[in-house]
Amino acid sequence: MSDLEVVSFRPEPGQYAWTFGGAAPVRRIRTPAVLEVYTEDCFGGRVRSEQDLTSQVCEFPFLNPQTGPFYLEGAEPGDTVAVHFMSIEPARSGEETPAMEPAGNGQSCRADLKAAPGQS
């Protein structure tokens, strides 16, 4: 697997998508590849201690930030894409988000993207 291209993407705060669909792709990827991405927790990293009340530090609809979408070169509507999660790791320790541990941590994820057999 070491010969696969590793595509890393860590979005700036303004690059998160806040809704499903309608967002322009953040990167174009040719499969097979390893996609290494970072995402924030559901509060966008704003809840950092028990003093951070979600009603005061979070603003609707800016909840549940999403990293992506990614455009897969050669994929067409109806194609099947296999995604293999290689690892999912907390981006911050629970010491920084005691009110939210373990679900309140941002996560870093590596995924191995391959077209399904017979697909380009």
| Prediction pTM value | 0.67
- Residue 12, domain extent: 5-115
CA gap 79, 97 in Å, rounded: 40
Domain count, the chain: 1
For the chain, the average pLDDT equals 78
Does a cis peptide bond (omega within 30 degrees of 0) precede residue 102? Answer: yes
Torsions phi, psi for 104 (to 5 deg): -90, 5
pLDDT tens digits, one per residue of 17-52:
988 888 899 999 998 999 999 988 888 888 888 888
pLDDT score for 2: 61
- Whether residue 39 is contained in a domain is answered as yes
53 within some domain = yes
The span from the CA of 12 to the CA of 59, in Å, is 18
What CATH number is associated with residue 94?
2.60.120.580
- Within a domain: residue 120? no
